[in-house]
Amino acid sequence: MGSCPVLVFVLLFSATLPFSGDGGKILVFPIDGSHWLNMKILVEALHSQGHQITVIRSSTSWYIPESSSYFTSITIPQTQSQNIESQSYMTSFLKRSLDIRRRRGSLWALLEFYSNVFDLLRENQKTVAELARSIFENKKLIKELNETGYDLCLTDPVFPAGVLLGHYLKLPMVFNVRWIYSGDPHVALAPSPLSYVPELFSDHSDRMDFLQRVNNIIYRGFLVYMYYFVTNPPYQAVCNDYFGPDVSPWSIIQGADIWLMRVDFTFEFPRPTMPNVVYIGGFQGKPAKPLQSDLEEFVQSSGEHGVIIMTLGTLLGDLGPEISEIIASAFAKLPQKVVWRHIGEKPATLGNNTRLVKWLPQNDLLGHPKTKLFITHGGTNGLYEAIYHGVPILGMPLIFDQFDNMVHMTSRGAGEMVEVTQMDVESLTSAMKNILDPENSYKQNMLKLSGLLHDKPIKPLDSAVFWIEYVMRHKGAAHLRTESYKLPWYAYHSLDVMAVLVACSLLITMFTLVSCRCLIGCLVKSKKSTLKPKKE
Amino acid sequence: MGSCPVLVFVLLFSATLPFSGDGGKILVFPIDGSHWLNMKILVEALHSQGHQITVIRSSTSWYIPESSSYFTSITIPQTQSQNIESQSYMTSFLKRSLDIRRRRGSLWALLEFYSNVFDLLRENQKTVAELARSIFENKKLIKELNETGYDLCLTDPVFPAGVLLGHYLKLPMVFNVRWIYSGDPHVALAPSPLSYVPELFSDHSDRMDFLQRVNNIIYRGFLVYMYYFVTNPPYQAVCNDYFGPDVSPWSIIQGADIWLMRVDFTFEFPRPTMPNVVYIGGFQGKPAKPLQSDLEEFVQSSGEHGVIIMTLGTLLGDLGPEISEIIASAFAKLPQKVVWRHIGEKPATLGNNTRLVKWLPQNDLLGHPKTKLFITHGGTNGLYEAIYHGVPILGMPLIFDQFDNMVHMTSRGAGEMVEVTQMDVESLTSAMKNILDPENSYKQNMLKLSGLLHDKPIKPLDSAVFWIEYVMRHKGAAHLRTESYKLPWYAYHSLDVMAVLVACSLLITMFTLVSCRCLIGCLVKSKKSTLKPKKE
- pLDDT tens readout for residues B405-443: 999 999 999 999 999 989 999 999 999 999 999 999 999
Residues of B in contact with A213 (CB under 8 A): 491, 494, 496-497
pLDDT digits (tens, 9 = 90+) for B475-512: 999 999 988 888 888 999 999 999 999 999 999 999 99
Query: In 10 A of CB B211, how many CB atoms?
Result: 10
Contact B492 A196 (CB under 8 A): yes
- For residues A504-519, average pLDDT: 93
- For residues A394-404, average pLDDT: 90
Q: What is the pLDDT of residue B102?
A: 78
Task: Name the percent of chain B lying above pLDDT 70.
Answer: 92
- For residues B69-86, average pLDDT: 79
Q: With contact defined as beta carbons under 8 Å apart, do A169 and A152 qualify?
A: no
CA distance linking residue A373 with residue A310, whole number of Å: 8
3-state secondary structure B66-126: CCCCCCEEEEECCCCCCHHHCHHHHHHHHHHHHHHHHCCCCHHHHHHHHHHHHHHHHHHHH
Q: What is the pLDDT of residue A11?
A: 39
CA distance linking residue A157 with residue A256, whole number of Å: 10
Q: How far is A257 from chain B (nearest CA, A)?
A: 12
**B467: in domain:** yes
| Same domain flag for B449 and B360 | yes
The pLDDT confidence band at residue A528, using thresholds 50, 70 and 90, is confident
Q: What is the pLDDT of residue A531?
A: 67
| Same domain flag for A236 and A382 | no
| Same domain flag for B80 and B193 | yes
Q: What SS3 class is residue A433?
A: helix
Q: What is the pLDDT of residue B78?
A: 82
Going by C-alpha positions, the residue among A289, A444, A282 that lies closest to residue A368 is A289
Residues of B in contact with A269 (CB under 8 A): 482-483
Going by C-alpha positions, the residue among B128, B21, B38, B119 that lies closest to residue B80 is B128
CA distance linking residue B207 with residue B14, whole number of Å: 43
| Same domain flag for B398 and B298 | yes
3-state secondary structure B294-349: HHHHHHHCCHHHCEEEEECCCCCCCCCHHHHHHHHHHHHCCCCEEEEECCCCCCCC
Q: What is the pLDDT of residue B2?
A: 38
Average pLDDT, chain B: 89
Contact B455 A17 (CB under 8 A): yes
What one-letter code names the amino acid at B117?
V
Look at A5 and A200; give whichever has higher pLDDT. A200
Contacting B residues, span 287-326, partner chain A, CB-CB under 8 Å? none
Going by C-alpha positions, the residue among A124, A117, A35, A30 that lies closest to residue A82 is A124
What one-letter code names the amino acid at B269?
F
The pLDDT confidence band at residue B14, using thresholds 50, 70 and 90, is very low
For B22, counting Cβ atoms within 10 Å of its Cβ (0-12 exposed, 13-18 middle, 19+ buried), the class is exposed
CA distance linking residue A127 with residue A161, whole number of Å: 10
**A204: in domain:** yes
The pLDDT confidence band at residue B75, using thresholds 50, 70 and 90, is very high
Torsion, CA B213, CA B219, CA B223, CA B228, rounded to 10: 100
Residue B286 contacts A, CB cutoff 8 Å: no
CA distance linking residue B211 with residue A78, whole number of Å: 51
- pLDDT(B10) > 60: no
Q: What is the pLDDT of residue B532?
A: 63
Q: What is the DSSP letter of B483?
A: G
**A450: in domain:** yes
| Same domain flag for B257 and B171 | yes
Residue A77 contacts B, CB cutoff 8 Å: no
Q: What is the pLDDT of residue B65?
A: 94
Residue A47 contacts B, CB cutoff 8 Å: no
- For residues A120-138, average pLDDT: 90
Going by C-alpha positions, the residue among B256, B201, B248, B245 that lies closest to residue B228 is B248
**A5: in domain:** no
Residue A17 contacts B, CB cutoff 8 Å: yes
The pLDDT confidence band at residue A437, using thresholds 50, 70 and 90, is very high
The pLDDT confidence band at residue A147, using thresholds 50, 70 and 90, is very high
Burial A445-466 (b: 16+ CB within 10 A, else e): bbbbbbebbbbbbbbbbbbbbb
B389 backbone dihedrals φ, ψ, rounded to 5°: -95, -5
Contact B17 A457 (CB under 8 A): no
- pLDDT(A6) > 60: no
- For residues B302-327, average pLDDT: 88
Q: Which helix (H) or strand (E) holds A375?
A: strand A371-376
**First and final C-alpha spacing in chain A:** 101
Which among B6, B19, B461 has CB closest to A462? B6
| Same domain flag for A47 and A104 | yes
CA distance linking residue B118 with residue A167, whole number of Å: 50
Q: How far is B50 from chain A (nearest CA, A)?
A: 8
Q: What is the pLDDT of residue A18?
A: 46
Highest mean pLDDT among B13-17, B29-33, B236-240: B236-240
Strands A25-29 and A52-58: parallel
pLDDT digits (tens, 9 = 90+) for B21-47: 468 999 999 998 888 999 999 999 999
Contact B470 A451 (CB under 8 A): no
Q: What is the pLDDT of residue A234?
A: 94
- pLDDT(A13) > 70: no
Highest mean pLDDT among A220-229, A293-302, A496-505: A293-302
pLDDT digits (tens, 9 = 90+) for A344-389: 889 999 999 999 999 999 999 999 999 999 999 999 999 999 999 9
Residue B526 contacts A, CB cutoff 8 Å: no
Helices (H) and strands (E) in chain A, counts: 19, 13
Residues of A in contact with B269 (CB under 8 A): 482-483
Going by C-alpha positions, the residue among B460, B156, B69, B54 that lies closest to residue A2 is B460
- For residues B341-348, average pLDDT: 91
Torsion, CA A272, CA A273, CA A278, CA A281, rounded to 10: -30
CA distance linking residue B264 with residue A273, whole number of Å: 16
B104 backbone dihedrals φ, ψ, rounded to 5°: -65, 160
**What is the number of domains present in chain A?**
2
Q: What is the pLDDT of residue A71?
A: 97
Going by C-alpha positions, the residue among B172, B142, B168, B122 that lies closest to residue B76 is B142
Which among A469, A487, A500 has CB closest to B2? A469
Contact A191 B11 (CB under 8 A): no
Look at A266 and B107; give whichever has higher pLDDT. A266
Which range of residues forms the domain containing residue B313?
293-454
Torsion, CA A329, CA A331, CA A333, CA A334, rounded to 10: 180
3-state secondary structure A217-282: HHHHHHHHHHHHHHHCHHHHHHHHHHCCCCCCHHHHHHCCCEEEECCCCCCCCCCCECCCEEECCC
pTM: 0.91
- pLDDT(A291) > 80: yes
Look at A293 and B124; give whichever has higher pLDDT. A293
Nearest CA in chain B to A212: B497
**B384: in domain:** yes
Q: With contact defined as beta carbons under 8 Å apart, do A100 and A109 qualify?
A: yes
Q: How far is A504 from chain B (nearest CA, A)?
A: 12
Task: Name the percent of chain A lying above pLDDT 70.
Answer: 92
Q: How far is A405 from chain B (nearest CA, A)?
A: 16
A·B CB contacts under 8 A: 223
Beta-carbon contacts of A379 under 8 Å, excluding residues fewer than 6 positions away, are A34, A313, A402, A405
Q: What is the pLDDT of residue A121?
A: 82
| Same domain flag for B304 and B260 | no
Q: With contact defined as beta carbons under 8 Å apart, do B157 and B181 qualify?
A: yes
Going by C-alpha positions, the residue among A44, A43, A29 that lies closest to residue A75 is A29
- pLDDT(B71) > 80: yes
**B463: in domain:** yes
Contacting A residues, span 327-366, partner chain B, CB-CB under 8 Å? none
| Same domain flag for B33 and B53 | yes
Q: At what angle do helices B425-436 and B321-332 cross, to 10 degrees?
A: 50
Q: How far is B210 from chain A (nearest CA, A)?
A: 7
Q: What is the pLDDT of residue A17?
A: 45
Q: What SS3 class is residue B417?
A: strand
Look at B92 and A48; give whichever has higher pLDDT. A48
Q: What SS3 class is residue A398?
A: coil
CA distance linking residue A337 with residue B78, whole number of Å: 69
Look at B294 and A101; give whichever has higher pLDDT. B294
- pLDDT(A2) > 70: no
CA distances from B154 to A131, A421, A473, B269 (A): 54, 51, 36, 26
Which among A49, A274, A497 has CB closest to B2? A49
| Same domain flag for B356 and B382 | yes
**A92: in domain:** yes
**A83: in domain:** yes
Q: What is the pLDDT of residue B84?
A: 57
Burial B147-170 (b: 16+ CB within 10 A, else e): eeebbbbbbbbbbbbbbbbbbbbe
Q: How far is A15 from chain B (nearest CA, A)?
A: 9
| Same domain flag for B469 and B497 | no
Interface test with B, best of A458, A470, A472 (most B CBs within 10 A): A458
Q: What is the pLDDT of residue B105?
A: 66
| Same domain flag for A165 and A305 | no
| Same domain flag for B466 and B449 | no
Residues of B in contact with A414 (CB under 8 A): none
Q: How far is A384 from chain B (nearest CA, A)?
A: 16
Q: What is the pLDDT of residue B11?
A: 39
Domain of B395, CATH number, reads: 3.40.50.2000
CA distances from A396 to A98, A205, A336, A417, B42 (A): 11, 18, 19, 6, 48
The pLDDT confidence band at residue B114, using thresholds 50, 70 and 90, is confident
